[in-house]
Structures are given as C-alpha cells and as structure tokens.
Chains A and B, each alone.
Chain A
Amino acid sequence: MSAPAPSMYSPEAAKVAERLGLKMGRPNLEEFADTLLALAKEDRNVVVVTSDSRGSGKLGPFGQALPKQIIELGIAEQNLVGVAAGLASAGKIVYAVSPACFLTARALEQIKNDVAYSDNAVKVIGISAGVSYGALGSTHHSLHDLAALRAINNIEIVVPADNFETREVIKAAAKRKHPIYIRFGKAPLYTLHGSGASFDIGKAIRLRHGTDVTFIATGETVVHALLASESLREKGMSCGVLSVHTVKPLDAESILRAARESRAVITVEEHMVHGGLGEACAGLFLQSGTVPQKFRIVGIPDEHTVTGSQADIFRHYGISMEGLGAAAMKLLARVTLS
C-alpha cells in the first residue's frame, strides 16, 4: 500500500479555501484532455501528437474515440516537434503533447526553428510541468522552460492557474495562427474563477485589489497567493492577486497598475527564479519607471532542488499560504509607511 500523497494545502489553508467558498476542481491535465477531445470531435483537422505520452497526457479516451487524430511517435521528442511542425504547415491544428521537462529541453531547437522561426502554428503542450513530477527528481522537472521560451521570438507562453484558464486557453489555442506554449501540472486544483470570468490570451486576470501587497502569480501557484491574501486580509492587510496566465507577451498594463496600487509586489511562479515571471516583471518595472517600494521573486532558487513531492517542494520554497504570508509580512515590515 502506498502512502497517501501529501496535500498541497495545510489544514489551515484548506479552512481559508472553505471560507472563500473555493471548490476543489480536477487536475488541469484532465481538463486539457477533455477539452481537446471535444475540440477534435468537432473538427477532424485537430490532431494530437504524442511521444509515448498518451497515458501521461490522459489521452487514452482521445485515442479510443478518435484513433485517426492521434499520432504516436514513440519516445522521440525532437521528432515529435518536427512532425508537429510539418502537420501544422499542411493545415492541421496540432497539439504536441509531452512532459514539459523533455519537450522544452531535448526538443528546444525544434521549438525554436521548426515551430517559432518557421512560424508553424503548433500548440506545444508541456504536461506535468514545473515540479509536478517532484519525487522523480530533477530530470523530470521543468524549471527552465519559461526562461528558455521567453528568449525565443514568435511563441506565446501560457501557464493556466485552474481548470477554467486551462479550458479557455486550450480552446483559444485552436484558433491561434502562430505558435503557443502551454504548460500545466497534474494535481487537482481549486477553481479560482466564477462563471462570469472572461479569458483572453495576453490579458492577466485580477482576482483581488490590494494596497499593501500584490501577489503577481502564474499557473498553479496562483491559488496559494489567493489563500495568502485572504489570510493576510483577516489580519487587517490589503492584498491584491493577479493571475498572469500569459507570461509572454506580458500584460504590462495590468502588472503596472497592480504595482502602482500596492506598496509591495511579490511574484510567484513554479519555475526557477532566473528568467521567469519574476524577472520579466522586474524588467518591466525598471524600464517603465513604475517601481514598487519593495519587490520579491518567489520561485525555485538556483540550487539543487530539494527532494520530495510537489507539495513538499512548494512548501520548502515558500510557495504556500503560510510561506507567501510570511514573505509578505517580512517585506511589508521594511516598507516605508507613507
């Protein structure tokens, strides 16, 4: 009998989620697979390309339902991306699906040349991204992908925070005429957005306004920022939360507005602190002249990543309600009160 997976949320965090009325959704991976199947049933030009990854990608039902629209290439990520580029150039709506760690490292040159440079509108889908495969070790982590792809022209980067953002970006990607990279994990997530929410690639979603500190977060860290903001609110602080699902192109307007509203800004990402959302925001702040009084990047530091599950790794590096709350308190203690 295996041990139960450690929770991403402490009992206290789960209580805060309950007070906020957050409902537990399902893994983004499953949302992706079902959304893609629905798209493919409507349009036979939609194809998915896999590298022995249909199981990891929850694409078993897709393969059963639409065997002609799933192209299996075996464990060969370079070929996967090249073939996807060829399919796209011939008019197919192609989702190239493989674990983010392999897809964006081993096949980086194919993404750069065959997809981005040649402008073949492949939807590059990095599954089990970040430290989703926590306990499997660094070979299976993708903490470089946002940095690597941010440095490549002609590819959008989207990191959805919940099932809603995942569903919307997978649908929107089908209509995109240029390359896009989408990465997500496989743990169940709270649903952050109500039924009235709207989603546009390139447009960050404001979850909360706040004057003390704003969390500018991306992907599956956003929920932890939201929980932290609520726990801080209960202590009398005003905390904003911005879900920056699109890391490239950056929604400069929303990010700068958030920075102007708050005395401190904390960015949060499931990525190394180099080259990801945090440094993108730092560059934006400095070059725009809108510089928060205090600023901190929370992510995975440049060190041999601690071993353990995704939840262990998040907690260790302060990507949790408690960790982000403490980071905010520490930062605010150093802010000059005006």
Chain B
Amino acid sequence: MSFTDRRLALKSIRLRRRVLEIIKHAGAGHTGGSLSCLDILNVLYNRVLRVSPETFGDPDRDRYIQSKGHSVEALYAVLADRGFFPDSKLETLCGYDSPFVGHPTRDVPGIEQNTGALGHGLPIGVGTAIAGKLDGKDYRVFVLMGDGELAEGSNWEAAMSAAHYDLDNLVAIVDHNTLQITGRTRDVCSNEPLDEKFKSFGWEVKVVDGHSIPQLTDAFSPRDHAGSGTGKPLVVIANTTKGKGISFMEDVAKWHHGVPSDAEYDKALKELDAVLSKAEAEGAFA
C-alpha cells in the first residue's frame, strides 16, 4: 500500500478526528501530545516501519517503542487504521477491564512495550537495537520521546550507550512541541539546544517539520542512515505543535490532558471536517 503525500496528510486529518472521538467518548486522554505526534506515527506506520498485523511476531520486524506513552490515543488510532485490531475496540478506552488503558500495553495487538513512566523507551530501544546487531538482523528500532521527557536522566544514559555501540539501527524521534504539562519546556527545565546536545553525545541529528509528510518520510528513509556507514544512532528532532490541527488547542499547555467540552468538541470536529470536505471537493479522494 502506498499513499501520496496528499493522501497521507488527509489520513492524518481523519486520524486526528478519531483521536478526538475516542478521548471525548472516554472522557480522558492526552489530547495535545497525541495531536502533535500524529503525523509522525502516520508516516511511520504507513510508509516506514516494516511491520504489519501479519508480521508483528516476526523477529525481523521493525520495532516502534512509544516512550512518551501518554500520547497513546494517537498510537491506538493509527494501529486500528492499520488493522491491528478492530477500530470499535477503541470505544473501551480507559474502561473497566479494557486493554486500552491510558498508556501503551502489550495487551493491545501491535504494541511492543508497556510504557508510561517517562525515560524508559530509549534504554529498551538500545537493548533491542544491540540484539539486532548481535544477531546480524537488519531491523530498525524507532523510539518516540517528548521534549519534556528529556529531563529524565535515563535518556542520556541510553544516548551515551547508543553512540558507544554504534547503533545506526536506532532512530530516536523527539516530538518537539516545546510544551509540557506546566508550560514551556524552556521555562520548566530548559534542554536547548537539543541538536547540539545529541551531537555532543555522538548522534547524527536531523531537524524537521514534524507535520510535514515529505520531511518526515525523508528523515526516516533507511538510505539516509542504517547501513550508510555512519555508525551513528539517528535522532530526528521533529518540530511540532501541541494540539496540532485544532485552532484553539494549538500551542496551549492546558490541552496536555484536556478533554473538550461538548461545544469545543463540535467546533474541533467542524474544523477537521472542513479540511476533509475541501479536499473532497478538490478531488483528493478520487
């Protein structure tokens, strides 16, 4: 299955709609961060990752580990769309005895690791990447982190070891939306310049627009790193907007785990539907 950039961008709109639907239905969720990382996940699962519902148990599959586990609604929406489980299951989000809890768990088909506590994904990714090297496998390991999450010291322990072991099969992605629950990351505990930090830790660094389908696709392209002889792990710093796609949620910290009221919800869906209608009128779905 291949999508044009345009079609993939429109899929992102539909997935954003689904994220809002399930959060509204559950009355809980991490809205802002799910919307900021959604294009990244869309590109990964529909263009980059060598994994499907049929090959999820394959030892040669690419791995995706969502270290910023709280943005799980984006992951659920993308996995359902890719057919890992029926979309209707998302109606149980955060419900009694549902595997669809507020952070990823392996009880959900397609999810590699249980995450939620921050600063855990990158070390696990390093271990998975080392195993790939030891076994001579060519799979790649992708780890998504938030920029606020980078205050956790374990990330930097892992960053050191990834460079030490020349893990060019490891791709860290920073969903760089510059906001965390309290406010601006730079005001909470500044971690800039991120690119220089990762470079000094021995990583190859790419900085992209985290909502640009072509830029993300290019950054994740295997030709650009794994097997390229760089011997370096890659970090893609994806500049994103928290709450992306919904005018009144964009770049506002309170939407970190805000659930829209009925009026806000209607307004948000209308904004997304307007984009979809316009695209339909232009023949984008033809």
> Which residues between 197 and 255 of chain A lie within 8 Å of chain B, taking CB atoms?
none
A119 close to B106 (CB less than 8 A): yes
The number of residues on chain B lying at the interface, defined by a beta carbon within 8 Å of a beta carbon of chain A, is 33
Which of under 10, 10 to 19, 20 to 34, or 35 or more describes the interface residues of A?
20 to 34
The CA of A73 and the CA of B122, in the complex, are separated in Å by 14
B129 close to A86 (CB less than 8 A): yes
B124 close to A114 (CB less than 8 A): yes
A114 close to B123 (CB less than 8 A): yes
B123 close to A113 (CB less than 8 A): no
B116 contact set on A, CB distance < 8 A? 113
B113 close to A79 (CB less than 8 A): no
Find the residue from A85, A86, A90 having the highest chain B CB count within 10 A: A86
A82 close to B120 (CB less than 8 A): yes
Output the nearest chain A residue to B127 by Cβ-Cβ distance: A86
14 extra A-B contacts, CB within 8 A, seeds A71-B165, A78-B119, A82-B158: A78-B154, A81-B123, A82-B120, A82-B122, A83-B127, A86-B129, A88-B127, A89-B128, A109-B117, A110-B154, A114-B114, A114-B123, A117-B105, A118-B114
A79 close to B131 (CB less than 8 A): no
Taking the closest CB of chain A, its distance from the CB of B279, in whole angstroms, is 40
Q: What total count of A-B pairs have CB within 8 Å?
A: 101
Binding site for B on A (CB under 8 A): 47, 68, 71, 73-74, 76, 78-79, 81-92, 109-110, 113-114, 117-120
Taking the closest CB of chain A, its distance from the CB of B88, in whole angstroms, is 26
> Which residues between 119 and 178 of chain B lie within 8 Å of chain A, taking CB atoms?
119-120, 122-132, 134-135, 141, 153-154, 157-158, 160-161, 164-165
B134 close to A86 (CB less than 8 A): no
B115 in contact (CB, < 8 A): yes
Binding site for A on B (CB under 8 A): 59, 105-106, 112-117, 119-120, 122-132, 134-135, 141, 153-154, 157-158, 160-161, 164-165
A86-B161 contact in complex given A71-B130, A91-B59, A109-B117, C-beta closer than 8 Å:
no
A86-B128 contact in complex given A113-B120, A118-B106, C-beta closer than 8 Å:
yes
B158 contact set on A, CB distance < 8 A? 79, 82-83
B117 close to A113 (CB less than 8 A): yes
A76 contact set on B, CB distance < 8 A? 154, 157, 160-161
Output the nearest chain B residue to A118 by Cβ-Cβ distance: B114
A79-B115 contact in complex given A87-B131, A113-B120, C-beta closer than 8 Å:
no
B130 contact set on A, CB distance < 8 A? 71, 83, 86-87
Output the nearest chain A residue to B161 by Cβ-Cβ distance: A73
Taking the closest CB of chain A, its distance from the CB of B142, in whole angstroms, is 13
21 A-B residue pairings within 8 Å (CB atoms): A73-B161, A74-B164, A76-B157, A76-B160, A78-B119, A78-B123, A79-B126, A82-B123, A83-B127, A83-B158, A85-B123, A86-B126, A86-B129, A87-B127, A89-B113, A89-B128, A90-B132, A92-B131, A110-B154, A114-B114, A114-B123
